[in-house]
Amino acid sequence: MTARDHLRGALVAFALFFMLVLPWGLPGASELKSLQRPFRIAQSWGLYGVGPANAWVFEVWFEDEVVYRAGDMDHTWLRSVFRYRRVRPVVVNTCRNKSKNAHGLANVVVRRALEENPNLTEISIRCTRSPWPGTEPQEVHRLTMHAPNWYPY
């Protein structure tokens, strides 16, 4: 351990000690509160919300057959790609119609689909939304690509 690590540990211990010993109303408490974020000792209560109001589901269809559906273990085509930490935000924002890369995602889907099945004539990316916990989904966004140009619209 370096001296910097020891110093950080001492400061964290100091801050924790005074946060536990001093009630928030005593002098010095506001100064200690400002140390919580830099030393990563603040509790983030954002993890404990009441849950989502809507269930969003990303789907990929080859003609009239679903091949990928988020959260469905029966339809897992390219699951590892869609769940990859750098691709997942594009997938989520595509469903909310906010993605600047939705067409790029569509191009990746088309390329990978045509590698596996060159006879396809239609590929669709669909997003559905339903009240939580996911009953009666309604389509809110769709990108459909047709042969031969495969441009998403």
- Report how far residue 17's alpha carbon sits from residue 9's, in angstroms, rounded to the nearest whole number: 12
Tokens representing residue 147 in the block: 């042969």
Among 4-8, 33-37, 62-66, 139-143, the least confident range: 33-37
Write the DSSP string, 53-106: SEEEEEEEEETTEEEEETT-TT-BTTHHHHTSTTTHHHHHHHHTT--TTHHHHH
- Over residues 132-147, the mean pLDDT reads 84
Tokens representing residue 67 in the block: 């091949």
Those residues whose C-beta lies under 8 Å from the C-beta of residue 31, and which sit 6 or more positions away, are none
User: Beta 138-146 vs 122-131: how paired, if at all?
Assistant: antiparallel
Written as one letter, the residue type at 20 is: L
Is 133 a residue whose pLDDT tops 80?
no
- Residue 65 sits at φ, ψ, to 5 deg, of -125, 130
- Report how far residue 53's alpha carbon sits from residue 19's, in angstroms, rounded to the nearest whole number: 35
- pTM tops 0.85, yes or no: no
Q: What is the pLDDT of residues 50-103, one digit of tens each?
A: 667 788 889 999 999 999 998 889 999 999 888 888 888 888 888 887 778 888
- CB–CB of 58/96 below 8 Å? no
